[in-house]
Amino acid sequence: MKQSIILTFIFSIFAMTTFAQKPAYQLFNAEGKKVNYKKMMKQLQATNYIFIGELHNNPISHWLELEITKDLHTQLGNKLVLGAEMFEADNQLIIDEYFAEIITKKKFEAEIRKWDNYKTDYKPLVEFAKENKLKFIATNIPRRYAGVVYKQGFKGLDKLSPEAKEYICPLPPAYDANVACYAKMLEMGKQMGHTTDNFPKSQAIKDATMAHFIMRNSGAGTVFVHYNGAYHSDNHEGIVWHLKLKNKKIKVLTISTVEQDDIKKLEDDNKNKADFIIVVPSYMTKTY
**Amino acid 220: pLDDT:** 86
Write down all domains in the chain, each with its CATH number in brackets: 44-281 (3.40.50.11550)
User: 59 in helix, strand or coil?
Assistant: helix
Task: Give the residue from 275, 250, 266 showing the smallest Cα distance to 47.
Answer: 250
**Amino acid 286: pLDDT:** 93
Q: Which of 2-11, 23-32, 96-105 has the lowest mean pLDDT?
A: 2-11
Whether the CA torsion 61, 98, 214, 174 is positive or negative: it is positive
- Asked whether 32 and 280 are in contact (CB, 8 A), the reply is no
Q: Alpha helices, DSSP H only, in the chain?
A: 2-18, 37-44, 59-76, 92-99, 105-111, 123-131, 143-152, 162-165, 180-191, 198-216, 239-246
Task: Give the residue from 214, 187, 215, 218 showing the smallest Cα distance to 203.
Answer: 187
The predicted-structure confidence for 72-89, as pLDDT tens digits, reads as follows: 999 999 999 999 999 999
Q: What is the pTM (predicted TM-score) of this model?
A: 0.92
Rounded CA gap, 270 and 260, in Å?
Answer: 9
Region 42-52 average pLDDT: 97
**Amino acid 10: pLDDT:** 52
Reply yes or no on whether the pLDDT at 2 is more than 70.
no
State the number of CA atoms in the 13 A half-sphere of 268 facing the CB: 0
Q: What percent of the chain has pLDDT over 70?
A: 93
Reply yes or no on whether the pLDDT at 9 is more than 90.
no
Structure-model confidence comparison of residues 19 and 283, the more confident one: 283
**Amino acid 192: pLDDT:** 80
Rounded CA gap, 169 and 110, in Å?
Answer: 27
**Amino acid 171: pLDDT:** 97
Taking phi over 0 as left and psi of -120 to 50 as alpha, with beta for the rest, 9 belongs to alpha
The predicted-structure confidence for 261-270, as pLDDT tens digits, reads as follows: 999 999 999 9
The CA angle 253-257-260, to the nearest 5 degrees, is 140
- Asked whether 137 and 99 are in contact (CB, 8 A), the reply is no
Region 97-109 average pLDDT: 98
Reply yes or no on whether the pLDDT at 14 is more than 80.
no
Reply yes or no on whether the pLDDT at 7 is more than 80.
no
**Amino acid 154: pLDDT:** 98
